[in-house]
Structure 1
Amino acid sequence: MNMPLVMLLVALLLLALSVLLVFSARKKARSEKMMGALASEKASSLQSRGALHIALLRAGIQLTSSRLMAAVLLYVLLVILLYWTLGALIALAGAGLLLFAVKVFIEVRQRRRVAKMVKQLPAFIDHIIRSLKSGRTLMEGMDQAVDSAANPLKSAFERSQRFMHRGASMEDAMDDLAGLYQIKEFQLLALAVRVNQKYGGNAVEVLSQLVSMIHERDKAARQLKAMTGETRVSALVLGLLPVSLAAYVFISSPDFFLELWHDPSGKKLLLFAFLFQVVGSLTLWRMLRSV
């Protein structure tokens, strides 16, 4: 089987996969509309959703069926273009790098969005506390806080509002929010709401303690970031040094790289060096995320 036929089969397979994703997304949308009819059910079954759908929700990316189809077709066309111009090996590497770039983009957008929501959360809870002190219920206070909040926190809680308006309980809607974003602050807020709705108690005191805890966690995170600044700079230097040296050699002596590229063994050497650079940069990035 020749390579063009293989690439054509891969393209057709990806096209079929995109069609399946479109029908799956439409089916999930219809089931979501019917989900709130029963008040005893949870607001959203995250377990039934795919990993990609959850990641897009966390990142705040609205991907319609037409956009998904266009993205898949563009991906297939780029891979075919790489194959026709640079060969099968480069096309295979490019296909993997494109998927990796999309994954990194979604993760970075997700982390930035969640970090911004955590910064907005104390003011959001303070608004609820003021509403409770003025005699309103917890749900009324949350509705007013959502109306006055800014994105991305506003859009996250508006999703919970829609679930409650469809008949879901407040604690189930907050559990769904905490389960979606998987951050400690939302989990504690969901726990406070569940305890208040089931057993009563002073919600103002619990929410005030939650605000204090969020401020303390933010202060500790900033101190840790300052203490690990030298480590971050060292990792950045280690990641950029090989790329900088390669760029300098290419600018000062381009014939050296061209001879390697036109030689079969040299081409493999360059590709392996590029692969190791990507793996090393990814490892450093993962290590920095854990600090």
Structure 2
Amino acid sequence: MNLQTLALAFMAATAVGGIAWVFLYPTMSGETKTEKRRAAFARTAPAVRQVDRAQRSRREQVEGSLREIEQRSKRDSKVTLSNRITQAGLSWSKKKFLIVSGIFAVVCFAVPILSGAGPIAALGLAFAAGFGLPRWLLSFLKKRREKAFLRGLPDAVDVIVRGIKAGLPLFESIKVVAADSSEPLKSEFAAIIETQAIGMPLGEACSRLYERMPLPEANFFGIVISIQQKSGGNLSEALGNLSKVLRDRKKMAEKIQAMSMEAKASAAIIGALPPIVMLLVYLSTPDYIALLWTHPTGRLMLAGSALWMSAGIFVMKKMINFDF
């Protein structure tokens, strides 16, 4: 009888313990919380994958836009004479430029011939005046225009950023820049408005700014607008970062110019010293130095000296001009 009671008690205790193990242990050990967290993660995994897929799609769009812009820049990398005239800020046609260059060449050929100089000197002067001088003038005007553009571009971008934050569309903000800015910003942004008005997308119209103003900063502006038009995003933040980058590049350029001024001054003194010495010697004893242009050997030595001086000045110029 006692054995039966003990057996029943043992079986009852075992049953109660089993029931407690089944129902209470998962709660006490944290398995229930683990299952709930696992189920919650399983429910949110598709959303996370969807977000990753959206980010991947946006990244692919940005990469595609950059690749398209790079291919277009490579395709349009050849600068024609008409483009150089436009970049210099002139409204001349290619025909007018060639006619004016030809007139300069004819005049500079006729003057030495009429004054009794040889035909070789006249041809050299005509070539320099008809081919070299006009293209040097285009390069000079282009660089001066680019410097003026770089001085005003960060302020123009800031105006666009403030307009967008105030609720204006991008196109209206660009109109404000075109109306209130000075040259050449006024004409360049007016060209963007005119290009967009004939049906071209605004992103592509801004990308074409690089064709008229071949500067990295203009390319940056076109890339930012083009990517935002295709992929979306916070345009005011992107343009704000671009403005900061433009100002940092401007500071770097000014710092480089200040650091290289000593080398530029030394190069200018070294390059100007031989002509100055020749002039002083000619003023003091003209017969002594006149052999350089009256004797054949002197002419040869003078031509060789001019060649080597030009090579030295060119090398020094390359050493002190930094590109970044």
TM range (shorter): 0.7 to 0.9
Q: Which amino acid aligns with 2:86?
A: L
What is the match of residue 60 of structure 1?
89
CA distance in 1, matches of 2:135, 2:96: 20
Q: Secondary structure of the equivalent of 2:200?
A: coil
- Is 1:104 the counterpart of 2:136 in the alignment? yes
Matches within 5 A, 1:1-291: 47=76, 51-64=80-93, 65-66=95-96, 68-84=98-114, 85-98=116-129, 99-290=131-322
Q: Percent identity?
A: 25
Say how many residue pairs are matched. 249
Q: 1:68 to 1:221 in 2, by over 3 A?
A: same
CA distance in 2, matches of 1:92, 1:268: 19
CA distance in 1, matches of 2:280, 2:161: 59
Q: Which 5+ residue runs of structure 1 have no aligned equivalent?
A: 1-42
Contact 1:117 1:152 survives alignment (8 Å)? yes
CA distance in 2, matches of 1:96, 1:282: 21
Q: Deviations over 1:185-218 (max 9, x none)?
A: 1111111101111122111101111111111111
Q: Which 5+ residue runs of structure 2 have no aligned equivalent?
A: 1-71
Q: Deviations over 1:52-74 (max 9, x none)?
A: 22222222122244454233122
CA distance in 1, matches of 2:111, 2:74: 40
Contact 1:178 1:190 survives alignment (8 Å)? yes
Contact 2:177 2:189 survives alignment (8 Å)? no
Q: Which amino acid aligns with 2:84?
A: A
TM-score normalised by the chain length of structure 2 = 0.68
Contact 1:46 1:176 survives alignment (8 Å)? no
Report the RMSD for the aligned CA atoms in angstroms.
Answer: 2.7
CA distance in 2, matches of 1:62, 1:244: 40
Q: Which moved more, 1:74-83 or 1:272-281?
A: 272-281
With a CA cutoff of 8 Å and minimum separation of 6, indicate the structure with the bigger relative contact order. Answer: 1
Q: Secondary structure of the equivalent of 1:236?
A: helix
Q: Secondary structure of the equivalent of 2:208?
A: helix
Q: Secondary structure of the equivalent of 2:152?
A: helix
CA distance in 1, matches of 2:296, 2:99: 37
Q: Secondary structure of the equivalent of 2:290?
A: helix
TM-score normalised by the chain length of structure 1 = 0.75
Q: Deviations over 1:131-173 (max 9, x none)?
A: 1122121111111111111001112222222222222121222
Higher Rg of the two aligned structures: 2
CA distance in 2, matches of 1:80, 1:273: 28
